[in-house]
Amino acid sequence: MDSGGRSGLSQGKYVRDMSVSPELTLLIPVHNELENIEPLYRRLCEVLEGTGKTFEILMVDDGSTDGSLEKIRELGRQDGRVHLIDLGGHFGQTPALAAGSRRARGAIVVMLDADLQNDPADIPRLLEACHRGLDVVCGWRRRRADCWLTRTLPSLLANRILSWITGVRLHDFGCTLRACRRELLVPAHFWGESHRFLPALLARQGARIGELEVTHHPRRAGRSKYGLSRVFRFLGDLVVLLRMDRPAPPQSHHRNSPV
C-alpha cells in the first residue's frame, strides 16, 4: 500500500464490504484525466457524506495512458468505497458506462464526467427529484462553459433533432450528469455512442423523465476528448435509432401448400 502522507487521504476509514449494497453508485468513465481524479474524488466525498447516504464511487478506466489507472487504484487502496473497472483498452464513453452499469450496486446510479465540468454539488438535487417519483433526472447545462462552435452549437442542433424525433422534450441529451434507477439500465440500451439517447430509450419503457438545470464549469486540467468529428458519429447512431423506431413488418399468415 502506498504511503498516505503523499495524498493526505485517510486510510482504513472505509473498509470495502461487498456484502452490503450502497444506496448510491457514482459511475464515472475515465480517459486520461489524471489531474482531475483526486480533486473529483475529494469533492464527491465532501458532497455525498453531507447527505448521510451510503455510496460507492465506480470509476471505469477507458484505456488511459497518463497514469489515471494507477491513481484510481491508489484511491481504492485508501478508501474501500472506490472501485475500479479496467476496460484494458480505449473503447469510448458508452462502453465504459455499460460496463459500469453492469457492476453498479446502488439503487440509484448517478453518472458524471471525470473532467470536473459537472459539479458534484448538483447531485443532491438530482437525488431529491428521484425521491419525488422520477425514474431518470437529467442535467441541463443551460450555461455551457465550452467552445461555442465545436461543442455548444452542435449540441444545440442535436438536442432539437432528438427532441423532435423521439418526442422526449429535453434541452440537453448530451449531459452526462444524470441520476437513474439502476434496474432500468440494461445492456440493450448501450450501443455505438447511445449514452446520449439513454433518456429517450428509457422513456420507451415508460420511465418518468425529468430535467434540472445544473452548473457547468470550464475545464481546468487535461484535454477535451470531443470535437466536430463527434457530429458524424451522432448521425450514424441517429440512423440506428430511426431504424429501431420503425414498426416491425407484418407477419405472413399464408400457409405453405404441400408439394
What distance in Å separates the CA atoms of residue 96 and residue 212, rounded to the nearest whole number?
Answer: 24
pLDDT tens profile 119-173: 999 999 999 999 999 999 999 988 876 665 556 666 677 777 777 777 788 888 8
What distance in Å separates the CA atoms of residue 240 and residue 194, rounded to the nearest whole number?
Answer: 10
184 close to 135: Cβ distance less than 8 angstroms: yes
Q: Per residue in 201-238, is it b (16+ CB within 10 Å) or e — as a string? A: bbbeeebebbbbebbbeeeeebeeeeeeebbeebeebb
Among 174, 183, 188, residue whose Cα is nearest residue 104: 183
Q: Which three cell numbers stand for residue 3?
A: 504511503
Q: Which residues contact 204 (CB under 8 A, 6 or more apart)?
A: none
Q: Which three cell numbers stand for residue 60?
A: 471505469
Intervals of the chain under pLDDT 50: 1-12, 246-259
Give residue 254's pLDDT: 35
Task: Give Cα separations from 182 to 23, 159, 167 (angstroms).
Answer: 11, 24, 23
Q: Which three cell numbers stand for residue 177?
A: 450528469
The structure's pTM equals 0.77
Give residue 48's pLDDT: 96
Q: Which residues contact 247 (CB under 8 A, 6 or more apart)?
A: none
pLDDT tens profile 68-85: 999 999 999 999 999 999
Give residue 16's pLDDT: 67
Give residue 234's pLDDT: 56
